[in-house]
Amino acid sequence: MRLVFAGTPDFAVPSLLAADARNEVVAVYTQPDRPAGRGRALTASPVKRTALERGLAVDQPERLKGREVLESLSALEPDLIIVVAYGLLLPQAVLDIPKYGCWNVHASLLPRWRGAAPIQRAIQAGDTETGVCLMQMEKGLDTGPVLLRQTTPIAPTDTGGSLHDRLAVLGAQVLADGLGLLRVGMQLPLNPQPAQGITYAHKLDKAEARLDWSRPAIELSNTVRAFDPWPVAEAEVAGERLRIHAASALPLAHAQTPGTVLFAGRQGIDIACGEGALRLQRVQRAGGRAIDVADYLNARSDLRAVGA
């Protein structure tokens, strides 16, 4: 089967490998190289690097519009276009090119969390289950019928990073299953998405990373987990701005002003919240690396006495 693969970040790499395993990937589309790192050097996407390592042809148009782009795609004569976290919307003219249309691997149980950041929003909302959907693409944003899906629980210890890695593997498995069925002539079921339960996973904004101590502790704990490893939650703690890499909610009754340090010890630093308290367990000072709270307190003797 002749495939065109469109993807950009690390999340899409396992799916590219799955697509390339038993099919002919005639081209890989990915975002143009972008400045990255301290030197702001132009850097290829993870999908581009993987494609080149495997000797696959790479194209990096800024947009999927215009006669030249459409003619180039049509000339490839793909049976199927696979889209995984590509970063560009596919116009109807592109969706109409392949014999079997376009498939998308999406990191949520649609219709919950359509949009840009489904993994992080699921954790932030306190969901206890998520998964991946293989979807037949339509012009609307993540609105197409679902072909296959797999679920996975969200553990209380899951972070945006750990769930990302697990769903990337699950997504590749679902894609491989779908391709296998298509290869032997099976018709995959087109399951319309329910009209109820639709939510949108808006793109992460770094401004959201600042914790508001007046909010319930469980809400802040979910945000800390969702935003690790990026953009990483931040907060003012006893007069110092810290990045918070790990924390847990405590069902602690108190009458203190939100933001007050209730306790500081090897177990963590407990901060009063609007409801309960947030126990900080791993933090990062400006210009430093992430460290356990016990190490941080070695430099904050003023805090070690609090609540002791």
Binding residues for (6S)-5,6,7,8-tetrahydrofolate: 108-111
Which pair of structure tokens corresponds to residue 146? 């679902």
Which residue, 84, 119, 103, is CA-closest to 10?
84
Rounded CA gap, 141 and 110, in Å?
11
End-to-end CA distance of the chain: 67
Question: For the CA atoms of 116, 10, 16, 62, what is the dihedral angle to 10 degrees?
Answer: 60
What order do you get walking across the sheet with 102-106 strand by strand?
Answer: 58-59, 24-29, 2-7, 80-84, 102-106, 129-136, 146-153
DSSP state letters, 205-244: -GGGGB--TTSBHHHHHHHHHHTTTTT-EEEEETTEEEEE
How many residues comprise the chain? Answer: 308
Task: Pinpoint the alpha helices (H) of 77-154.
Answer: 92-95, 118-124
Q: Which residues, listed in sequence order, are joined to residue 201 by a DSSP beta bridge?
A: 115
Which pair of structure tokens corresponds to residue 179? 């391709």
Range 69-74, long-range pairs (CB < 8 A, 24+ positions): 70/94, 70/97, 73/4, 73/97
The H or E element spanning position 105 is strand 102-106
AA letter at 194: P
Tokens 């947009």 locate to 63
Which pair of structure tokens corresponds to residue 62? 């800024």
